[in-house]
Each structure stands twice: as structure tokens, then as C-alpha cells.
Amino acid sequence: MKIVEVLGPGCNNCRRLEAVAREAVAIAGVEAEIRHVTDYAEIVAHGVMSTPGLVIDGKVVSVGRIPSADDIAAWLVTA
Amino acid sequence: MTALPMRRAHVPFRVVAPVVVVGWFAAWFVNLPLANWAAYDLLGLEQGSHVGDAVAFFLLDVPKVLLLLLGIMTVVSFLRSYFPPERMRAALAGRGTLPATVGAAAFGVVTPFCSCSAVPLFIGFVEAGIPMGVTFAFLISSPMVNEVALVLLWGLFGPGIALLYMGAGLAVAIVGGLVLGRLPLEKWIEPWVLAVRAGGGATSLDLRLSVEQRLRDAWTTTRDLVRKVLLYVIIGIGIGAFIHGFVPMELIAQIGGRDNPFAVPIVVAIAIPLYSNAAGTIPIVEALLGKGLPLGTTLAFMMAIVAISLPEFVILRRVMKIRLMVAFAAVVVTGILAVGFLFNALGL
């Protein structure tokens, strides 16, 4: 079970990233829980300065951009 | 569903890029003759008539603005991806106040930044021990000297006005940052900001992206932006076309002329609620400038549109006390008014 966290205060890009992450979970066919982290203190605790950020199992894999669903799926499989 | 979803056909990047570049230049050069031909020959409107000039302006500007946004914005967004906030923080940390403030203002031009990142960026800077005035220089310059405004100013008004705008914007950001840095900012910040500890996760500097990924991101960003502003652009160009064709020069000179000391504050007040519609407003400004609106008034209008954003203020309220928000807004507005009056006084 993977934990996928989308870091972002709730702007458009963050919501888009969340949708892409859901798509990626379906592509990868893994079991994953997607959390949307909007709390600034928690976002900053990951060392992220540009949102949206993406965290898989506690590891920051992307910041300040929306990766493609395929890229995220690949991270889900390898991470 | 066992099979992977259908993939889109993947045309190699080195095939797509040259085709797009050639197509863009072809469209750019054919735009003016085509617009004139459509307005004056195809529609049979008279050259120099009110309707004819308005229609020609519209037919010329819609493709022109779209080409500028789609083409140049993609290139600019691509270049900006090499200047993430982490790079700026590393470059500014440990420098003196003046060089750091100037540097932060300059980074505001190139660092990709969306206002939803304002709070994490603010905290990241505080953590690195960068003086808060420096952070303000960035927060002022980033929206003011933004890429949409610069690209459109360059494309529609030429490099002279675009560079003047950039210089004036940087000056406001640097002076604003230095002034705000003199205030007792630690007391004017919400206490939780100083208490929060930033972790050392991976940053965009560690997460290297390929050139193709950066270009694809740049294209996605640009496409989303154009989708968002398209309607406003068309409305803006429509208004611009009306002004260009129908509004007499004397009227603009009378209302917005250099002799009217209230012109600059009035345009600034009008501009504030227009935030984020830089793309839609610049064609109106283009028509007004063509009708003799003085440059200082024009620059102040442009700056106020992009620099003062209600949504960003709502976000920054999370880290700043009201006192600081008021000081921040006052400094920015004063700077913009100063630019307007100065350029008008110089008689440019």
C-alpha cells in the first residue's frame, strides 16, 4: 500500500495534480491512498518551496510542476 | 481492465519542434497582410474609416496576441524552468541587504512562481536567514514584471517600452524591498511562521528534468494560460478595436492627458480589480497609447493590473499581520504612482 501525498494549498494546479495522481494509480495498478495536504506547516516540513509537490511514501518526487500520469505511474511502480 | 489505456501517438520531438517553429514564423509574417486583406478587400471596408480601422485592428491583434502567447510564452516558460526558487534562495542566502534585494528583484523576472506558493516560499526564505525585505522585493517584482506582461509589451509596443516597464518594475521592487526591510517585520509576521521548521526534502534542484520534459511542461503551462485568458483577450481586443476606430484622440488627451494630475491615480484605481487579466488589458492599453495616453499613465496602469492581486493578498494574510499587509500594499501603490508621475513629468 503506497501513500501518495499531494502538497498544495488547494489551488487549481494542486487539484489537477491530485486528479493526475489518481489516474496514475489506476495505470500502475497498485494499491494506494491519496492524501491532499493543504496545511502550510506540513507542506514546508517536506522542504517544498514551490507547489504543487508530490510525495510517495514520504519521499518528494516532484515539486512545482504537474508530471504526466505515466511518469507518476512509473514512480509508483519503482518506488 | 487489464490492458494499459490507449497511448496517444508519440511523434518524436525533433520532428515536432522545427515544424512548429516554421509554422509560427509563417503565421507571424502573414498576419498583417492577411488582416488588411480580410478587412479592406474581403469585407470591402474603407481604409481610414471608423469601422474599417476597428475591424482591421481586431483581425490583426487576435492572431498576433495568440501567436505571442502560444509561441513566446512557451519559450519563456521553458527558460524560466532553469531558475527555480531553490536556486534563488541559494544565490541570495548570506549576501548583504542591498545585493540580495537587487538579486531578489531580478529573480522575480525569471523564477517561475504562482501565488499559491507564496507562503512556502516566504517560510523557506525566512528559514535560510534571508532578510524579509529581500523576500518582499521578490514578491513585488515577480507578479509585476511577469512574463505575460513583458511578452505582450515587447510584441505589441516594441523592446523600448518593454524594457522601460521592466526597469521601472525592478526599481519599485528594489526600493519597496528596502523600505519594507526597515520595518519591524519580525513583529508583523504571524508567530507560527517563525516557529515552523522546514524539512530538507528533495528540491527541484535534485529532481533533474530533461529538456523535453521542461519543454512539455512549458507547453502545458502556456496552453492552460491561453485557455484561461482567451475570452478576456478577445473582449480586450474588441474594446481596443473600438477605441482605435471610434474614440477621438482629443477625448483621451482631455481625460488622461499629462495636464490632468488625477489621471495616474484614477487608472491605478481602475486597474486593481482587473488582476490577472494582463493579456486582456494590454490590447486596450495598446489602443489608448496609440490615441496619445501618456507613457507614465500607461505604465502605471499596466503595473497596477498585475502587481496588486487580491487573491495573493488573501494567501499572504496567512503569514502577515494586517499592519504588514497594509504597509506592503501602500509601498507598492506608492511606487506605481511614482513611476506614473515620473515618466509623465519626463514628457516621454
Per-residue confidence band for B1, with pLDDT thresholds at 50, 70 and 90: very low
Look at B257 and A6; give whichever has higher pLDDT: A6
Residue to substitute from B114, B117, B216, B224, interface A, most A β-carbons within 10 A: B117
Here the CATH number for the domain that contains residue A70 is: 3.40.30.10
A3 has which bridge partners? Answer: A33
Query: What are the pLDDT digits (tens) for B139-187?
Result: 999 888 888 888 888 888 889 889 999 999 999 999 999 999 999 888 8
- Residue B323 in contact with residue B197, Cβ under 8 Å? no
Q: Which residues contact A8 (CB under 8 A, 6 or more apart)?
A: A14, A17, A36, A37, A38, A43, A51, A52, A53, B116
Nearest to residue B169, comparing CAs of B123, B134, B217, B137?
B137
Please tell me the predicted confidence (pLDDT) of residue B201.
59
Query: How many angstroms separate the Cα of B222 from the Cα of each of B73, B75, B144, B258?
Result: 6, 9, 18, 37
Provide the residue type at B183 as one letter: L
Distance (Å, rounded) from C-alpha B55 to C-alpha B246?
A: 11
DSSP B281-341: HHHHHHHHHHTT--HHHHHHHHHHHHH--HHHHHHHTTTB-HHHHHHHHHHHHHHHHHHHH
Query: What are the pLDDT digits (tens) for B249-296?
Result: 777 777 777 777 888 888 888 887 776 667 888 888 888 888 888 889
Per-residue confidence band for B20, with pLDDT thresholds at 50, 70 and 90: confident
In chain A, which residues have their Cβ closer than 8 Å to the Cβ of B113? 50
Least confident span in B12-16, B36-40, B97-101, B204-208: B204-208
Distance (Å, rounded) from C-alpha A37 to C-alpha A40?
A: 8
Query: What are the pLDDT digits (tens) for B97-118?
Result: 999 999 999 999 888 777 778 8
Mean pLDDT over all residues of chain B? 84
Nearest to residue B259, comparing CAs of B155, B149, B347?
B347
Residue given cell 532578510 in the structure block: B131
Mean pLDDT over all residues of chain A? 87
Count how many residues are written for chain B. 348
Q: Print the domain residue range for A32.
A: 2-78
Q: Which three cell numbers stand for residue B212?
A: 523535453
Residue given cell 526534502 in the structure block: B201
**What's the domain count of chain A?**
1
What pairing do the DSSP bridges indicate for beta strands A53-56 and A32-37?
Answer: unpaired
Given the residues A9, A10, A11, A19, select the one marked as catalytic. Answer: A11
Of A10, A47, A64, the CB nearest to B201: A47
Q: Is A58 a catalytic residue?
A: no
Say if the Cβ atoms of B199 and A45 lie within 8 Å: yes
Q: Which residues contact B43 (CB under 8 A, 6 or more apart)?
A: B55
In chain B, which residues have their Cβ closer than 8 Å to the Cβ of A20? none
The strands making up A2-7's β-sheet, listed across from edge to edge, are A32-37, A2-7, A53-56, A59-63
Q: Is A11 a catalytic residue?
A: yes
Say how many CA atoms lie within 13 Å of B53 toward its Cβ: 13
Please tell me the predicted confidence (pLDDT) of residue A79.
66
- Geometric angle at alpha carbon B217, from B281 and B163, rounded to 5°: 40
Q: What is the pTM of this model?
A: 0.85
Nearest CA to CA, how far is B119 from chain A (Å)?
7
3-class DSSP state of B189? strand
Query: What are the pLDDT digits (tens) for B42-65?
Result: 887 878 788 888 888 888 888 988
Of A51, A55, A61, the CB nearest to B117: A51
Q: Which residues contact A42 (CB under 8 A, 6 or more apart)?
A: A7
Distance (Å, rounded) from C-alpha B306 to C-alpha B152?
A: 13
Q: How many CB atoms lie within 10 A of CB B263?
A: 22
Say if the Cβ atoms of A48 and B120 lie within 8 Å: yes
Does B117 contact chain A (CB < 8 Å)? Answer: yes
Per-residue confidence band for B3, with pLDDT thresholds at 50, 70 and 90: very low
Does B217 contact chain A (CB < 8 Å)? Answer: yes
Q: How many CB atoms lie within 10 A of CB B157?
A: 19
Q: Render the burial of B51-82: b for 16+ CB within 10 Å, e for the rest.
A: ebbbbbbbbbbbbbbbbbbbbbbbebbbebbe
Q: Which helix (H) or strand (E) holds B342?
A: helix B322-346
* pLDDT of residue B39 exceeding 90: no
Query: How many angstroms separate the Cα of B228 from the Cα of each of A12, B69, B276, B308?
Result: 12, 12, 10, 19
Q: Which three cell numbers stand for residue A17?
A: 495534480
A60 has which bridge partners? Answer: A55
Please tell me the predicted confidence (pLDDT) of residue B4.
46
Q: How many CB atoms lie within 10 A of CB A61?
A: 19
Q: Provide the ipTM.
A: 0.84
Does B124 contact chain A (CB < 8 Å)? Answer: yes
Nearest CA to CA, how far is B221 from chain A (Å)?
9
* pLDDT of residue B2 exceeding 50: no
